[in-house]
């Protein structure tokens, strides 16, 4: 078993309302950043996990995203390549 | 003026407590993912903004991070290169 680090981006699905992103956009406008057109707020999760190899680690993290990390109805996730931790 | 897309990663500063990461780690253990050793939960923000060039866009987004997006006491931020939107 070796230890791997894997980063995951979880973003609101395109076309769905993103109330947090709109709130940030409004706050930026209020602060004077009038040139901002769109803001999307997602999560960035970095996991360290033990696995036999990088492919097994990535499969496990995909499973974690489906079961816990991402909301399958409203969010998309993207997993970066596993790197030795 | 052109439109640029810039992604920002905001992460809990190393060495500080990350209660959200620990909660996710415990939940993953409960679900049977016993091999998980560490979890860090940050934010992933994608902004679209108007600017004269990519450098100006990146400088503006750095300013946004300092003033609103990141907590300067507890979080680090990292800005990716601006790409035309």
CA distance B59 to chain A (A): 12
Task: Read off the pLDDT of each residue in B76-80 and give the average, rounded to a whole number.
Answer: 96
**Predicted local confidence at residue A48, as pLDDT:** 97
Q: How far apart are CA A50 and CA B43, in angstroms?
A: 24
Query: Which of 46-75 (A) contact B at CB < 8 A?
Result: 46-51, 60, 63-64, 67-69
Of B31, B37, B51, the CB nearest to A50: B37
pLDDT per residue as tens digits for the range A3-22: 999 999 999 998 888 999 99
Q: What percent of chain B has pLDDT over 70?
A: 100
- Cβ–Cβ of B42/A47 closer than 8 Å? no
**Domain holding B41: CATH number?**
3.30.1280.10
CA geometry: angle A18, B21, A12, nearest 5 deg: 15
Nearest Cα neighbor of A39 from B78, B64, B32, B33 is B64
Q: How far apart are CA A9 and CA A77, in angstroms?
A: 6
Domain that holds residue A30: 2-84
Mean pLDDT of chain A: 96
For residue A57, CA distances in Å to A52, A54, A68, B44 come to 7, 5, 16, 22
- Of the residues A4, A47, A66, the best mutation for testing chain B's interface (the one with the most B CB atoms within 10 Å of its CB) is A47
**Predicted local confidence at residue B76, as pLDDT:** 96
| Coil/strand/helix, residue B22 | helix
Please report where in the chains the tokens 């503006």 appear, as a residue: B60
Report the number of distinct structural domains present in chain A.
1
Instruction: Return the DSSP state at A16.
Output: S
- Cβ–Cβ of A24/B9 closer than 8 Å? no
Q: Does B82 touch chain A (CB under 8 A)?
A: no
Beta strands in A1-85 (DSSP E): 2-12, 36-51, 75-79, 83-84
CA A68, distance to chain mean position in Å, is 12
**Predicted local confidence at residue B14, as pLDDT:** 87
Whether this model's ipTM surpasses 0.95 comes out as no
Q: Does A42 touch chain B (CB under 8 A)?
A: yes
Answer whether 0.90 is exceeded by the pTM.
Answer: yes
């Amino acid at each position: 078993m070796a230890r791997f680090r894997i980063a995951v981006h979880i973003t609101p699905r395109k076309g769905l309302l993103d109330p947090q992103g709109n709130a940030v956009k409004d706050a930026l406008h209020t602060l004077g950043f009038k040139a901002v057109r769109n803001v999307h707020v997602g999560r960035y999760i970095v996991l360290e996990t033990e696995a036999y190899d990088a492919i097994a680690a990535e499969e496990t993290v995909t499973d974690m995203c489906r079961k816990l990390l991402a909301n399958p109805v409203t969010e998309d996730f993207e997993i970066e390549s596993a790197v030795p931790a």
